[in-house]
Amino acid sequence: MTREQYILATQQNNLPRAENAQLYPVGIYGWRKRCLYFFVLLLLVTMIVNLAMTIWILKVMNFTVDGMGNLRVTKKGIRLEGISEFLLPLYVKEIHSRKDSPLVLQSDRNVTVNARNHMGQLTGQLTVGTEGAVFGHSVETPHIRAEPSQDLRLESPTRSLIMEAPRGVQVSAAAGDFKATCRKELHLQSTEGEIFLNADTIRLGNLPTGSFSSSPSSSNAQQTVYELCVCPNGKLYLSPAGVGSTCQSSSNICLWS
């Protein structure tokens, strides 16, 4: 045994030993352990409930790779089938229905469709309510038709109603009467053509008539045949018919207008 080994052996034998050495266990014990297990169990239950709810929502909303429910995302846009409800404004470029199927827009109140330009300004508006359709600006359409057994009415409550077409405007009533009434004046104007009235009977009521008497003694004679005369301002009136034209003899009627 070397000297160094002897010194180390003697020093180890002389070291004091603790008789009551305390041992500290490693880990979580007691109420801390029970709380940890409880939180782990609660987390596991929450994850299971979330997973079940997610699967249920996916099944109810009919989520697929192409979309959800009646909504399908295609290369050409969005395709919506069936009945759908929109709670917020809908902004689309075009709306088409299925082939050979109508497109129905339904609301508890009015249905309003707005058209705006690139500046956001309103250029056209269509409002459908209980009294019909109201257009905010001009309307271009090839056909206007009312429902069966219903009257078609075009009305402008505060302004004029203008119908224009480059090849003419035709209004016809194949199975009934055509009536045009106004509160003030009715103007029929043709700048390059003529006004043609074609009917079996043409009646002009409430026209002023002239007076005719061959002599003072026969002032009570009844006149049954009249001549239709036209004033320079376009006013029409009836004048008693004679051998020649009698329009000039009753020209004072034109001065009353």
The pLDDT-based confidence of 48 (bands split at 50, 70, 90) is very high
Of 98, 53, 51, whose CA–CA distance to 72 is shortest?
98
Structural domain count of the chain: 3
Mean pLDDT along residues 108-132: 84
The overall average pLDDT reported for the chain is 78
Please give the pLDDT value at position 221: 58
Checking if the pLDDT of 119 tops 80, the result is yes
Whether 128 has a pLDDT exceeding 60, the answer reads yes
The answer to whether 213 touches 219, Cβ cutoff 8 Å, is yes
Over residues 191-213, the mean pLDDT reads 77
Q: Tell whether 68 and 39 lie within a shared domain.
A: yes
Q: Does the structure show a pLDDT above 70 at 20?
A: no
Q: Are residues 34 and 63 in the same domain?
A: yes
What are the distances in angstroms from CA 83 to CA 72, 80, 90, 170, 244? Answer: 14, 9, 15, 40, 77
**Nearby residues of 81 by Cβ (< 8 Å), 6 or more positions away:** 70, 72, 98
Q: Is residue 186 part of a domain?
A: no
Give domain status of residue 9, yes or no: no
In a domain, 130, yes or no: yes
Residue 101 Cα distances to 10, 79, 89, 107, 164, angstroms = 108, 14, 24, 19, 32
pLDDT at 131 over 80: no
Summarize pLDDT for 30-41 with one digit per residue, the tens.
788 889 899 999
What is the structure's pLDDT at 47? 96
Structural domain boundaries enclosing 235: 225-256
State the pLDDT confidence band at 175, using cuts at 50, 70 and 90: confident
Over 60: is that where the pLDDT of 21 sits? no
Asked whether residue 23 carries a pLDDT value surpassing 80, the answer given is: no
Q: What is the CA radius of gyration of the chain?
A: 49
Whether this prediction's pTM lies above 0.85 is answered by no
- Tens digit of each residue's pLDDT (9 = 90 or more) over 9-18: 665 555 555 5
- Looking at residue 7, its pLDDT comes to 63
